[in-house]
Structure 1
Amino acid sequence: MAPTTDAGSVADLEPAARERLAGDIWDFIAGGSGDETTLAANRAALDRITLVPHVLRDLSERHTQCELFGFRASVPVAVAPIAYHRLVHPDGEMATARAARRAGVPLTVSTMSSTSLEQVTEAGGTVWFQLYPLRDRQRTRALVRRAEDAGCAALMVTVDVPWMARRPRDIRNSFSLPPHVRAPLLGDEDGAPDARSRVPHASAVAEHTRAAFAPFTWADLAELRRATSLPLIVKGVLAPDDAVRAVEAGADGVVVSNHGGRQLDGAIPTADALGAVCEAVGGRGTVLFDSGVRSGTDVLRALACGADAVLVGRPVLWGLAVEGEAGVHRVLTLLRREFTDALGLAGCPDPAAARELAIWRRPA
């Protein structure tokens, strides 16, 4: 297999990762919910966005840095919260953390991390913690305190997963975690089925989370805001009025996301929802874009639509599967190089200037 240094784009790593991974693990990573219409629509909606570049601009002084919740990121990118990195590489989240630190971008650690939060933060770098609200509210509060004590720089609460949607690939595969993979932040004390125990014609992971997770309300968000002084980010927002309400409730930012096409199938593609959310928020909070980012041009598209930065998910796992830490670093390096190139070719000296770009959407 060709090393990642031969990859000319992030997309080059996808087939290499698919070749490396077992079929059921690939399906767990790559698949979506329902008929996967939203999964496909995310990519199609991004591809419909075309940019109107400026010319004859002074590009003698350029940079790609941006401020994200008090951290100066090298590029407007953060690693999205992704479950169970050890499914694709034995070093798991530790390799991802080291690569993100080297690349100068934040890493979001999932509640479903396969490595303890403390181990990840000890690797250095800027770490955000992604919270899935649990049925046991006391344990939810304990996770928030644990993130604070571990030195996390922000708290990201996911609000579009009251339970895990039906994902047919996982059901057909009767997917369960291999014996060496577990979720130390969730633990086995939730009374939930063991995600490592195969359930015929069902996803053991979905059964586990269905028992452990709980729906989250606006009252719960207000309570969470009072419970922590960390910057609070609300992930899973698509409706502009929900974004406004989140900011008014004290959220420092929102993530425009349909969970990568893995929750409500038929939900609006995030690229189509982004502009209205940004307009509604009106600069009162940071807006991050998630679901479908595959290139530096996608980063530029998101910024031109009003986002402050993007989250990148599946490509990180592609790199991790192919070459561990070096593979993740390669993905992040490629994104930075592609974004640097696209930014300059669009006539923009820095990320802030990308907001001045006009966009035109090709008809669907």
Structure 2
Amino acid sequence: MPEQYPGPKGLIPVTSGKAEDANIITRQYLDSILVEMRVLDAVEPDLRTTIFGHEFTSPIVMPAFSHLNHVGENGRKPMTENAWAAKKMGMMNWVGMEPNETFEEIAAVGVPTIRNIKPFADHNRILNEIAHSKAQGALAVGMDICHVPGENGKYDVVDGIPLGPVTVDDLKTYVQAAGETPFVAKGVLSVTDALKAREAGVKGIVISHHHGRLPFATPPLLLLPEIKAALKGTDITIFVDGGIETGYDAYKALALGADAVSVGRAILWPLLKEATPGVMRQVAKMNQELSQMMMYTNVHDTKSFDDSVLHLPR
């Protein structure tokens, strides 16, 4: 009999261990978190959020898209269009695996951007990209610590470039190389890795299963409270991604302890179809939904979330 996962709409068969299963489980978990209403004394909330010393208009941040290299009708690439949307809306930008030349184009937009680096087998390549990111004025640099195995059970290869393992000592080296620039570990999905990342000296983590890379992955929001508690007393910024499609989803992540929420596929199609205007429209809608939920629950600003308003599945 295939394994089944209890969701709010009944049992979900989980048979393959592929990304679709992890993403279905994540979606079902998000939908199963219920919210109570606290409208007395509620006012229109302030969404402004400060991360790594920069103030942004919202705790919703751009995702670490990669490999969107085709050129649009205006001569700009989707990654650059995304950066322009972030700049115009006062948001944090994030960039995935791209060559130095592409990152220079994105950095030229002038929006605070975190550059995410793959765990390349060639450590010199990693150090080179960290140095280049700092030279371009990156807000922070990060690494997909979860992108080590490939589907064949060996180290993955991306765009012909071999990846390799990431040890705590490796992470310490990258943090030291980043210097005053904050370093973020992306792909944390356990208290164990969160504590190791803290030991290495990171300034931020992204709780994520990288859109289902791990077969049968735990929903990020299921582990968020445990990880938040384990990092209590530190200055580590906690980002969350995975299945965040609306401002309502973002609200749940923020109420459970996230400092900021990364949205990916919800803006991917607007980005590819309509470029900057499509992204701006989608993010504006999500900000409206987030503001609505904050008003319904008497949350006045992004420092005042209260997880007691949530009712988690049993």
Shorter-chain TM-score tier: 0.7 to 0.9
- The one of 250, 257, 266 aligned to 2:201: 250
Number of the residue aligned with 2:192: 241
Contact 1:299/1:310 (<8 A) preserved: yes
Partners of 1:114 and 1:329 lie apart in 2 by: 26
User: Is 1:318 the equivalent of 2:269?
Assistant: yes
TM-score (norm 1): 0.75
1:140 deviates by 1.2
Partners of 1:148 and 1:324 lie apart in 2 by: 27
Contact 1:238/1:270 (<8 A) preserved: yes
- 1:145-200, CA deviations, whole angstroms, 9 ceiling, x for partnerless residues? 1100111011111100114447xxxxxxxxxxxxxxxxxxxxxxxxxxxxxxxxxx
1:208 deviates by 3.7
1:315 deviates by 1.6
Structure 2: segments with no counterpart, 5+ residues: 1-15
Q: Which has the higher contact order (CA 8 A, sep 6+)?
A: 1
1:48 deviates by 0.9
1:124 deviates by 1.5
Mapping for residues 58-97 of structure 1, pairs under 5 Å:
58-59=42-43, 62-86=45-69, 91-97=77-83
Number of the residue aligned with 1:269: 219
Number of the residue aligned with 2:167: 217
Partners of 2:130 and 2:302 lie apart in 1 by: 32
Mapping for residues 1-364 of structure 1, pairs under 5 Å:
34=18, 36-59=20-43, 62-86=45-69, 91-112=77-98, 116-165=102-151, 207-209=157-159, 211-229=161-179, 230-261=181-212, 263-284=213-234, 285-363=236-314
Partners of 1:165 and 1:104 lie apart in 2 by: 38
1:128 deviates by 0.8
- State the Cα RMSD in Å: 2.1
- The alignment partner of 2:306 has SS state of helix
User: Which letter does structure 1 place at the counterpart of 2:277?
Assistant: A
Partners of 1:238 and 1:34 lie apart in 2 by: 17
Whose helix proportion is higher, 1 or 2? 1
Contact 2:70/2:77 (<8 A) preserved: no
Number of the residue aligned with 2:6: none
Contact 1:158/1:235 (<8 A) preserved: yes
1:84 deviates by 1.7
Partners of 1:113 and 1:299 lie apart in 2 by: 30
- 1:63-86, CA deviations, whole angstroms, 9 ceiling, x for partnerless residues? 111111111111111111111223
User: Which letter does structure 1 place at the counterpart of 2:80?
Assistant: M
Contact 1:111/1:130 (<8 A) preserved: yes
Structure 1: segments with no counterpart, 5+ residues: 1-31, 167-205
User: Which letter does structure 2 place at the counterpart of 1:313?
Assistant: G
Contact 2:22/2:216 (<8 A) preserved: yes
Distance 1:328 1:216, change over 3 A: same
User: Which letter does structure 2 place at the counterpart of 1:76?
Assistant: P
User: Which letter does structure 2 place at the counterpart of 1:131?
Assistant: I
1:356 deviates by 4.8
Distance 1:113 1:73, change over 3 A: farther
Aligned length: 291
Contact 1:85/1:114 (<8 A) preserved: no
Tell me which stretches of 4 or more aligned residues in structure 1 moved more than 3 Å: 86-90, 112-115, 163-166, 206-211
Number of the residue aligned with 1:14: none
- The alignment partner of 1:342 has SS state of helix
Partners of 2:71 and 2:187 lie apart in 1 by: 25
Number of the residue aligned with 1:25: none
Contact 1:82/1:113 (<8 A) preserved: no
Contact 2:209/2:217 (<8 A) preserved: yes
- 1:64-121, CA deviations, whole angstroms, 9 ceiling, x for partnerless residues? 1111111111111111111122369562111101001111111111124697111101
Distance 1:323 1:99, change over 3 A: same
1:215 deviates by 1.6
- The alignment partner of 1:57 has SS state of coil
Partners of 1:35 and 1:156 lie apart in 2 by: 23
Distance 1:225 1:355, change over 3 A: same
User: Which letter does structure 2 place at the counterpart of 1:93?
Assistant: M
TM-score (norm 2): 0.86
